[in-house]
Structure 1
Amino acid sequence: MERAAGVGDGDVRITVDLLKSITGEFDLESILSLKLTKMGICSLGCIGDCVNLERLDLSRNDISNLKPLASLKLLTVLNLSANRISNLDPLQSCENLQSINLAGNLISSVDALRSLTELKKLDTIRLKDTVCSFSNPVCMNTSYLSTMLDMFPNMKVLDGERVSGRGSDLYRLCKDIDASLKEIDSSAPVRGPLGPKKWVEDSYWELQPMQQTQTDEAMEQFYELLNECRKLNSKAADVITKTKRTLRAMN
């Protein structure tokens, strides 16, 4: 049974009595889904006794220590947004974790995320949420996107955007562009007494006659790409609309 928790009056520690009163369950092992949001929780207390938990929402609290979550082996969905978390090491024991929301915390570098790479089922990660204006210091890194893709090759969704499968072309394109720019920068000609060295011969820029078949193929590829972009744009708009509705319902 899942029941939303109300706003607390101060620092709160999760206790057996608190869990029973919120869920209506007498046995903590019977709790499969739990929502404890906006309660001022600073200590996870006995939440580790809910060993059969599959879905857990602890967003908008004051949590910094995740050690009690290490025993939740069946946990699949975890929302820790808007807390004070910087250390994720205890989560590497949550072997069934598939989705995690960490937006609005204190994660400062990609090194703090390496413990999550041990979770083979993890395919959805959120570290920033533009709708709620939540983020983490690590998201400011210019190589954030490419680094995340390298660290989590099985990831499907990052920060609400698909990074693999249908709809991931834009992310892959950005990564390729970043790599190309770095390569160009590292191989840039050095200015000497006679000026910069030419990258290409002058004749490179002369227009060459194009066969009709080549023109037709190019146009066909262009329109296919344009049509795909329109589909992605429409899909993105639908996702944004649904997300806003969900957030309004939660608040």
Structure 2
Amino acid sequence: MLTQDLIKHVTGEYDLEVVQLLALTALEIPSIMNLDMCINLKELNLSSNSLKTIGAGLSTLTKLSRLDLSNNLISSLSPADFEPLGKSLTFLALEGNDITDVDDLYSFTSLVNLKTIYMKRDELTNPCCGHPSYFVKIVKAFEDNVEGLTILDGESFQLKGAVGDVSGSDGMLKPDEGYTKPLPVEKWLDNVDIENVAPLAESFEVKDAEEQLQEELTEVDIKLKRARASMKVANNEIERLKSL
């Protein structure tokens, strides 16, 4: 159980008003309570306990900036859970719980300065994270966020939002139509008289082969003429010798 004596023992502080950091993990704590005097608490880690609800246990923690409730048994959220933390909370971890109703995400509406939220991380998640409109509900929940949510489940919130526009009553993402329309097809043969189209010019390869063959034939012809001239000279020499 979360008691003031436990807090004093863990922090080593007798005056709970001076406590700013408190980590009570894996202690099977069933509920959030006895934090009334920790009015200057800035970071609270209650991960890996047995919490089933958040309730009013955080109502006096108006300076809390980081809250880790991951890996518990929390099955539902209420707007009243986070209203006292609306202006102070910048980091919230809820992965590894049993939050099922995707509409419970609207409970984050009052967190106008939240920068980072984890509903799932690695193998720790919540059933609502598998809902088709999970991201859309998150977007709507943080519409009034003054500075803008930066990290959602370890990824850039702005980058995830750039993949599509939120629209439709079904809460689904609508892709940017500029990237989903089929490319226009240019019908460039519509105005062409196919029957009178001139044959395509011979390829450069064919022309090169013909020119090379012609050069080779010309060279053979020249050699042949030279051979005939040589034979004629030889015959004339033979005839001259016979006449002697």
Q: CA deviation at 1:25?
A: 0.2
> What SS is found at the alignment partner of 2:36?
helix
Corresponding position of 1:47: 35
> What SS is found at the alignment partner of 2:30?
strand
Identity across aligned pairs (percent)? 34
Q: For the residues of structure 2 that align with 1:172 and 1:65, how far apart are their CA atoms?
A: 30
> What SS is found at the alignment partner of 1:41?
coil
2:66 to 59, 64, 77: 77
Q: CA deviation at 1:207?
A: 7.2
Bigger proportion of residues as helix: 1
Report the TM-score when normalising by structure 1.
0.62
Q: Does 1:151 align with 2:146?
A: no
The verdict on how the C-alpha distance between 1:15 and 1:141 changes in structure 2, with shifts beyond 3 A counting, is same
Q: Does 1:14 align with 2:14?
A: no
1:105 to 97, 112, 117: 97
CA contact (8 A) 1:100 1:125 kept: yes
Q: For the residues of structure 2 that align with 1:36 and 1:148, how far apart are their CA atoms?
A: 28
Give me the CA root mean square deviation: 2.9
Report the TM-score when normalising by structure 2.
0.64
The verdict on how the C-alpha distance between 1:151 and 1:87 changes in structure 2, with shifts beyond 3 A counting, is closer
CA contact (8 A) 2:106 2:138 kept: no
> Unaligned regions of 5+ residues in structure 2, if any?
167-172, 189-244
> What SS is found at the alignment partner of 1:78?
strand
Q: Does 1:125 align with 2:117?
A: yes
CA contact (8 A) 1:124 1:158 kept: yes
Aligned amino acid, residue 119 of structure 2:
L
| Rg comparison, structure with higher value | 2
**Residue correspondence of structure 1 range 20-99 to structure 2 within 5 A:** 20-66=8-54, 67-85=56-74, 86-88=76-78, 89-95=80-86, 96-99=88-91
CA contact (8 A) 1:33 1:55 kept: yes
The verdict on how the C-alpha distance between 1:207 and 1:55 changes in structure 2, with shifts beyond 3 A counting, is farther
Q: Does 1:137 align with 2:103?
A: no
Q: CA deviation at 1:41?
A: 0.7
CA contact (8 A) 2:163 2:175 kept: no
> Unaligned regions of 5+ residues in structure 1, if any?
1-12, 183-198, 209-251
CA contact (8 A) 2:163 2:176 kept: no
CA contact (8 A) 2:95 2:118 kept: yes
Corresponding position of 2:175: 180
Q: For the residues of structure 2 that align with 1:204 and 1:97, how far apart are their CA atoms?
A: 50
Corresponding position of 1:219: none
Q: CA deviation at 1:205?
A: 1.9
How many residues in Structure 1 have an aligned counterpart in Structure 2?
174
Cα offsets for 1:58-115 (capped at 9, x unmatched): 0000012322112110000000001111224322211311110000112222321222
Q: CA deviation at 1:176?
A: 4.4
CA contact (8 A) 2:105 2:138 kept: no
Name which of structure 1's ranges 143-152 and 13-22 shifts more when overlaid on structure 2. 143-152
The verdict on how the C-alpha distance between 1:102 and 1:21 changes in structure 2, with shifts beyond 3 A counting, is same
> What SS is found at the alignment partner of 2:41?
coil
